[in-house]
Chains A and B, each alone.
Chain A
Amino acid sequence: MRLSRWLADRWVMIVALLVLGYLALPILVVAGLSFNRPSSRLSYDFNEFTLDNWRQPCATSDMCDAVVRSVQIGFIATVVATLLGTLMAFALVRHRFRGRSGINVLIFLPMATPELVMGTSLLALFVSAGVPQGFWTIVIAHVMFCVSFVVVTVKARLAGMDRRMEEAAMDLYANEWQTFRRITLPLVLPGIVAAALLAFSLSFDDFIITNFNAGTTVTFPMYVWGAAQRGIPSQVNVIGTAMFAVALLLVGLSSLRGRRARRANLLAGPSGHPRRSS
């Protein structure tokens, strides 16, 4: 009897934890496989423990070239998309103007369109315009699908911001530029950083759109795709595990910083800076 009562109270949490296990399982397998010496190139089964993959992550040099290329593309696309998207977010939150709804549709549509359609249509454009496909067509495509996500992320931060801070600065004789540099930018920065991280991870991991616009250029996801037919080197799992660790570290650091900032606010108390944490 007691067991059934206990189950009735907690079954939602138990199901939730099982689902989280389902979500975590492949990550554990990837981490495990990074220490595996497969019995053959086409085998995906666990065979034998080894540290070789971690000791020589670049044993297959094509793969590391592809990783470097993905980082380069991700970096350029992130810088451009973050810049364009942040400007758009400022226009949308801070200004009233004609054609706002049209712009909103233009920003929303790329997020709602299947990647397949975006990838093939861009391919059709490049081919008909005679643009050779390669590194820069990938960058163009990545900026295109990242911009909307940057706009949405920065917009959310801007909309939640207290306008009175800027008004106070202006009341204290700061000019517009000073207000922007000293008040607005620092307050929006976390939103911009989050948007940039999102853009980078979208770019780094994109396969479908890249596949249609890469020509002979090989990014990391495209390398994995190609290798899946020929046999995957175990080092792919090293990269997968390392990516996961880096992302986890970033999340951990940001949550630590957030906690420290909150504690500082608490200590500063009502007489300190009346900073509103979001």
Chain B
Amino acid sequence: MTLLAPTGSGHPPPAPPAARSGRRRLLPYLLLLPGAAWLLVFFGVPLVQLAAASLYDPSGSLSTGYAMTWAVGNYPDVVQAYWPQFLRSFGYAGLALVLALLLGYPLAYAIAQKAGRWKNLLLVCVVAPMFTSFLVRTLAWKTILSDNGALVGLLRDVHLLAPDGRLLATPFAVVLGLTYNFLPFLVLPLYASLERLDPRLLEAATDLYASPVQAFRRVTLPLSMPGLVAGTLLFFIPASGDYINAELLGTPNEYMIGNVIDSAFLVRLDYPQGAALSFLLMAAILAVVFGYLRRAGTEEVL
């Protein structure tokens, strides 16, 4: 274990001298304690509290206090009241995901395989939107999609849009906003996977008479699977829980489940209902994620 040893950079750590082993054994726990305690108290415990709040008696209120009555009925109640917003959340996030894959895959591939010395510059361009405020750049879409804007004018002129047709305040605007806001989360892991792809494998496939489409389907796509799975999840989880795009670019007709939860907690002050919706959202996302992971057959997300 000296400089002369040609073995790779060091694992496993050398066995500690016996005299110090007592302190050594305690050290990792001391290092972990503050951070783990913070996460337990402010991430773990609140989830339990949220679960409890979702079972409070719905007839209580913030001022009179809530009674814990194990009101399981809160769950069917909120599903009945808000299933359209639930469906819409996953529908919009799913549509945005498809769009993002169509846009993001070529982008990640081009940066990883075709960019040469421009690679780092292009990567900076991918994350550049995150340099400015999420809300401010979402509001910029209000200007781009505005009824008086150039884009709407052009689409009306070529009759892709009716003379009184709009882009803003439509489902299209919300999906476009979601796609835009979370695209970098999809592109970066995908890029990381594609960067490791050896171009000689594609040459080999072509030499063996694979068409470009076949080479993509049988070589590129399978090898990019880990990045594709990670990127899809990093896109889908925040997109389905987002309500900023629906609020700023849509109307109440485009409201997603996040808008309902926001108003349950902050406007209507109906905590049991808000908590039940929140918990359902998490359960639904987990179900989608695990179902997807099983189908994709990749365990290594991280």
Contacts and interface: CB of A to CB of B under 8 A. Distances in A.
B240 A26 contact: no
Contacts of B46: 118, 121-122, 124-125
A97 interface: yes
B106 A15 contact: yes
A221 interface: yes
B19 interface: no
Contact of B111 (A16, A92, A232, A241): A16
Contacts, number: 264
Q: How large is the interface on A (under 10, 10 to 19, 20 to 34, 35 or more residues)?
A: 35 or more
Closest CB pairs A-B (n = 9): A163-B10, A114-B241, A16-B110, A247-B131, A95-B28, A121-B46, A240-B136, A121-B50, A26-B140
Interface in A113-134: 113-118, 120-125, 127-128
A106 B44 contact: yes
A171 interface: yes
Contacts of A85: 35
A110 B43 contact: yes
Contact of A164 (B9, B25, B39, B103): B9
Interface string B20-31: 000011011101
A97 B29 contact: yes
A103 interface: yes
Nearest to B144: A29
B244 to A, nearest CB: 7
A144 B38 contact: yes
B144 A144 contact: no
Nearest to B100: A19
A207 B122 contact: no
B50 A124 contact: yes
Contacts of A163: 9-11, 13
Contacts of A79: none
B106 A16 contact: yes
B35 A84 contact: yes
A228 B135 CA distance: 9
Interface in B1-58: 1-3, 5, 9-13, 24-25, 27-29, 31-32, 34-36, 38-40, 42-47, 49-50, 52-53
A260 interface: no
Nearest to B241: A114
Contact of A167 (B2, B133, B146): B2
Contacts of A27: 128-129, 131-132, 137, 140
Contacts of B24: 95
Contacts of B11: 163
B271 A124 contact: yes
Given A16-B111, A120-B265, A167-B1, A87 B136 contact: no
